[in-house]
Amino acid sequence: MSTTTDFARIIVNAFSLQSAITSNKILADKGLTTAGWLVLRRLANKEDLSVAALGRAFSLTRQRMFQIVNRLAEKGYVELKINEDEKRARKVLLTDAGRTVLQVVEKELTVLLGDALSELPEKSMEKSARVLRKLTDTVAGNKTDKAES
């Protein structure tokens, strides 16, 4: 079996891990769905996105993304601002509460996954993290710096 095939299997298992995270109480306890958590993560990495841009990023309609964003706004995790350049498009901004809940969730997930991750050598984790970031950027159509890889 090739390294590419093995790594592809790792990626598929990562989807299973995301599913397991979804069913874990960590998100539910914070009033988050998987979609909400992923939107917060996206905003933490690339702030100031419109509802439509978020919808495109997750292959969701603007209406569906607006429902997700509204739920996050009701919890105080995001706020909607009128886009000065295009009045009909609203920008979604991560609030301090959203940033805090995201940090708490990710810290709890790190603790939850800590035992399994502690079995991996640090150099392997660093390299794996870089490769996953590069794969994510490639699939998302983002340009990456060769120096980062």
The whole-angstrom separation of Cα 30 and Cα 64 is: 21
**Tens-place pLDDT, residues 94-143:** 999 999 999 999 888 888 777 777 777 777 777 877 887 787 777 767 66
pTM above 0.75, yes or no: no
Q: Are 81 and 91 in contact (CB under 8 A)?
A: yes
